[in-house]
Structure 1
Amino acid sequence: MISLLFAMDRDRVIGKNNDLPWHLPNDLKFFKNLTMNQSIIMGRKTLDSMNGPLPKRENIVLTRDTNFNPPNCKVIHSIEDLQELINENKEKEWFVIGGENVFKQVLPIADRIYMTFIDQSFGGDTFFPEFDQSEWIVTSEKEGEVDEKNRYPHTFIQYDRKRL
Structure 2
Amino acid sequence: MINLIWAMDENWLVGNNDKLPWHFPKDLTYFKNVTKDKIVLMGDLTYESMKGYYKTKPFPFKKIYVANLIDKVYEDAILVKDVNHFLKNNNEEIFVIGGPTIYNLALPYADRLYITFVLGRFEGNRYFKKFDLNDYQLVNYSNTDSLIFATYERRKH
2:14 matched residue in structure 1: 14
2:156 aligns to what SS in structure 1? coil
Instruction: Give the superposition deviation at 1:54.
Output: 1.6
Residue in structure 2 matching 1:73, options 64, 74, 77: 77
Give CA deviations for 1:100-150 in whole Å, capped at 9, x if unaligned: 100110101111100000011002111111111221111111002x3xxxx
RMSD: 1.3
One-letter amino acid of the counterpart of residue 122, structure 1 = F
Question: CA–CA distance in 1 between the matches of 2:49 and 2:33?
Answer: 20
> Is the CA contact 2:40–2:61 (under 8 Å) kept in the aligned structure 1?
no
| TM-score, with length taken from structure 2 | 0.91
2:101 matched residue in structure 1: 101
Instruction: Give the superposition deviation at 1:51.
Output: 1.4
Is the deviation greater in 46-55 or in 123-132? 46-55
Question: CA–CA distance in 2 between the matches of 1:70 and 1:125?
Answer: 27
1:150 matched residue in structure 2: none
One-letter amino acid of the counterpart of residue 162, structure 1 = R
1:57 matched residue in structure 2: 62
Is the deviation greater in 134-143 or in 45-54? 45-54
> Is the CA contact 2:87–2:109 (under 8 Å) kept in the aligned structure 1?
no
Match runs of 1:25-36 below 5 Å: 25-36=25-36
Question: CA–CA distance in 2 between the matches of 1:128 and 1:118?
Answer: 13
> Is the CA contact 2:41–2:95 (under 8 Å) kept in the aligned structure 1?
yes
Instruction: Give the superposition deviation at 1:56.
Output: 4.0
Is the deviation greater in 115-124 or in 50-59? 50-59
1:139 aligns to what SS in structure 2? strand
2:142 matched residue in structure 1: 142
Structure 2: state its 5+ residue gaps.
53-57
The number of residues matched between the two structures is 151
Runs of 4+ in 1 over 6 A off after TM superposition: none
Instruction: Give the superposition deviation at 1:57.
Output: 2.9
1:158 matched residue in structure 2: 151
| TM-score, with length taken from structure 1 | 0.87
> Is the CA contact 2:39–2:94 (under 8 Å) kept in the aligned structure 1?
yes
Structure 1: state its 5+ residue gaps.
147-152
